[in-house]
Structure 1
Amino acid sequence: MSVLEVVEQVNMNDCWVCAGLLRNKVWDVLHHIKTPINDIDVIYFDRTDTSVSKERELEKILEGLMPKQPWSVKNQARMHEKNGAHPYESSYDGVAHFPEIPTAIAVKLHNNKLEVMTPYGLSDLFEMIVKPTPLYKRNNKLYPVYSERMQEKKWDEIWRDLYIEM
């Protein structure tokens, strides 16, 4: 909650905490373990300034509010370039383009209420099933990205009850 409270203070457009921080926390709870936080992914959507320097500026603001945290801020208005997709229309569109379903989740705090964004639902996350999102399925051009991530991440060595679809 402290992370969500800090991010809300910065007041970025269409802003969410997403991906690994949330996924890993759920898997940690389900496995009764605690893994280190390797990054805090914060996304927002702003077509008016898609510079990396703006993202670094926002990371510095977050660092000032909550020091010594691994902040990673990304503007979804430019992230389509990473996988050669059409420009995204929103943060939701960006999250829907994440490689695997249990990572495609985002949360924000707005007026003391939690909002959850899950383009593919929550069942795979809570059932500990890792599957590719539609663009990353086996017969699509981005499947190698998903496959390489699964081999690199070795999540099933940390969270032993995971099922990873290959």
Structure 2
Amino acid sequence: MKVNNETDIIRLIEQDYWMMDILHYAKSLKLPDWWICAGFVRSKIWDELHGFTKRTPLSDIDVIYYDPNNLKEETEKEYEDHLRALNPAIPWSVKNEARMHLRNNVPPYESSIDAISKFPETATSLGVKLDSKDRIILTAPYGVHDVIHLEVRPTPYILENQLLATLYKERILNKNWISTWTNLKIFHC
């Protein structure tokens, strides 16, 4: 399947029963401002663009939400436990973006999409969720150009801060995505 735009990305996910199941599991939590983001979306696109017939394993499935009224980390763990009860084979990770600024030592995020916009790479700054009619909604604060053109570059947020730029460089080395997706073009700060 060709992946040229947001519509193609949504169609790609709609045709993946495993991804749709995961979206339904996450939706069942009824979290405020929830999304499944990062590698869940990015890796699917890169796998498709590389012609892979087998899914590249994910270290986790990032479910995020935004609830400034409950910043307890224990609540996140309860959500992870609930998701593990639905499907224990999935490496669930649930985070409330209303508290993640404390862990990341940055100013507070205003929403889940604001948090996604501050992810390290534009190609990773993606999220999907289901609306009330189970249609996929895609958020891409920097658009989908980079992810569908296999370009890995820092987000503007990363470029604004030298410390974050250094962490971006380390992350690119540690992730070593190019060893899996050989057609990637990596851009440095």
Q: Does 1:9 find its partner at 2:28? A: yes
**Structure 2: tracts of 5 or more residues without a match:** 1-19
| Of 98, 105, 113, the match for 2:126 | 105
| 2:92 aligned residue | 71
Q: Does 1:28 find its partner at 2:53? A: no
Question: For 2:58 and 2:165, how far apart are their aligned partners in 1?
Answer: 27
One-letter code of the match for 2:44? K
Contact 1:77 1:89 in 2 (8 A): yes
| 1:19 aligned residue | 38
Q: Cα offset for 1:139?
A: 6.3
Q: Does 1:93 find its partner at 2:114? A: yes
| 1:56 aligned residue | 77
2:90 is paired with a residue of what secondary structure?
Answer: coil
| 1:155 aligned residue | 177
**Deviations for 1:7-55, whole angstroms, at most 9, x for unmatched residues?**
1111000000000111111101111223112210000001111121111
**Structure 1: tracts of 5 or more residues without a match:** none
| 1:119 aligned residue | 141
Q: Cα offset for 1:66?
A: 1.9
Q: Cα offset for 1:70?
A: 0.1
How many residues get paired? 166
| 2:150 aligned residue | 128
Question: For 1:139 and 1:77, how far apart are their aligned partners in 2?
Answer: 21
One-letter code of the match for 1:74? K
2:141 is paired with a residue of what secondary structure?
Answer: coil
One-letter code of the match for 1:116? L
1:161 is paired with a residue of what secondary structure?
Answer: coil
Q: What RMSD, in angstroms, separates the aligned Cα atoms of the two structures? A: 1.3
Q: Cα offset for 1:131?
A: 0.4
Provide runs of 4+ in structure 1 moved above 6 Å: none
Q: Cα offset for 1:82?
A: 3.5
Rate the CA distance shift 1:153–1:110 in 2: closer, same or farther, 3 A.
Answer: same
1:41 is paired with a residue of what secondary structure?
Answer: strand
Q: Cα offset for 1:135?
A: 1.9
1:10 is paired with a residue of what secondary structure?
Answer: coil
One-letter code of the match for 1:143? A
| 1:140 aligned residue | 162
